[in-house]
Structure formats: C-alpha cells, structure tokens
Amino acid sequence: MRSRMLFVTPCIGLLAFGVFFSGIESPTPDNAPSIVNKTRSFEVLGVQRGPQEVKLTLKNNYPKTVTAFQISIGDNFTITEELIFAELSDIGIRPQEMVVKTYPLPLSLLQNPSVNVIIKAIVLDDGTGDGDVLAFEDIKAARVGEEIQIRRTLKKLHEFINSGESNVTRLRNEVSASLNASDSHTLKEVLEIEPAGVINRHSNSRLSDNLKRGLENGRQNALRKISEIENLGHPAEEFVKLKNTYKRILTRL
C-alpha cells in the first residue's frame, strides 16, 4: 500500500489533528497578480503579468525533488504541471532549483486588472506532498490513471517482443483494446494500486474525473508512441526502448 502522508515532516503534528495549511499571501507590485501560496517551501520568487500571460519564477526549497505541482489563475483556470512521466532519467525540479514558467491568461481575465494566482499543491519524489489536500489527491488520481495505461501497454509490449512478431498493426489494435477496458475492470486495477480507495473519494463504484483524465492522457500517449515507432525503419529496437522507458517510469510511481 502506498503512503498517504500528504505533507512534509514539519507538519506531522498538524496532520494528526486534520489541520491544513491555509496559504500565505505574498505582496506584489500594483501591476502584478496577487499570489496565494498554499505550500510551505515552493517559493514564488517573482511574478509578472504580460498582455496575455503570467510569468512565474519558482524555487524548490524542499529537501526532495518536486515531481508535480498545481496552480490556478483566477477562479476557473487550473494548471497541473506533471513531470514524473518524462522519458528522461533525470526528472522534476531538484532541491534549490529555480524554474520560470509562463502561462496564458484565460480570455475571461484578459481585461481584468486584478488576477489572483494560487500555488495549490506540490508532489515530491517520494509520493508525499504539500499544500491543498484536494489538489494533491487530484494530481495523484490522474497519475494512477496514467500508470494503469502504462502497465497495460507494457504487458502487450512484453508479449509482442517475446513472440518475435512484426505486425505492428496487430500490436496497436491489441494495445488500443486494452487501454479501452471497461470502468469496472479499471476500478479493480485502481484498487490494486491504491487499496485504500482514497483516490476514488467520491464513490467506490465509479471512476473520478481526474482518474479518467489520467486514463485518457495515458491512452493518447501510448497510441501516439506506437504510431511513431511504426513509421521508423527498425521498430523492433524502438519497442524495446519504449518497454525500458515505461519500466523506468514505473519505478518512480
């Protein structure tokens, strides 16, 4: 069973009583968006508003690597930066590392002189996190959806490679069928990965919207990769590489 601890070590005492961090509002220049940071150590070093975008300079002050974070701009525009599924071996925002992120403003806010930016939650490389507990669970739910699709694809890749087949069309069809499994079958896989069922907090009999989002992202990515490999001259070697990449990603989850 995976760890369900949501915050870093300094707040263990608060968690015992169910108290969550409410956020710190940072002072900003008159022409800059206001910042509310619900994390303790994902620092906002700078914020600038352009004609159609917001630019944030962020720093990871945690002792561990940040592998995902979620922010919102205004009331209805939420952005999740998911870094754990990158194909690179070195992923995430490392301790003391700074990053600059630019996000487009939604049309509803282009003419609004006042824009609020909320740093909602982060996830660390050990699966723990900090910030808003519901935002944290949303990130984790989407991850489970993508993880399920990676596991399904990996199983079909293993069978394909070991059989010595070369019919990529058949592989793609088999992978597609596996990725489109029924909700009831998927729910069983969810409960194998997250036995406590916390990910599916709205109901024990249906998949959450965020989990479905992860399933769809994972489905699109897997089918796209297979189509790309199909167009290459040496697909067998590339399928082995994809298999190894997926296995490496699973070790992070």
CA distance 133 to 21: 9
Vertex 207: Cα angle to 201 and 212 (nearest 5): 115
Nearest 10 degrees: CA dihedral of 1, 9, 141, 70?
Answer: -170
Q: 204-237: per-residue pLDDT in tens?
A: 568 999 999 999 999 999 999 999 998 887 788 8
What pLDDT score was predicted for residue 76? 84
* Beta bridge partners of residue 185, listed in sequence order: none
Residue numbers in the chain where pLDDT is lower than 50: 1-22, 25-29, 202
pLDDT at site 54:
94
Sketch out the chain's domains with CATH numbers: 9-131 (2.60.40), 135-250 (no CATH)
Write down the pLDDT at residue 199: 56
pLDDT score recorded for residue 167: 87
pLDDT of residue 75: 84
CB 249 within 8 A of CB 85: yes
Q: Are 54 and 39 in contact (CB under 8 A)?
A: no
- Predicted TM-score (pTM) above 0.85: no
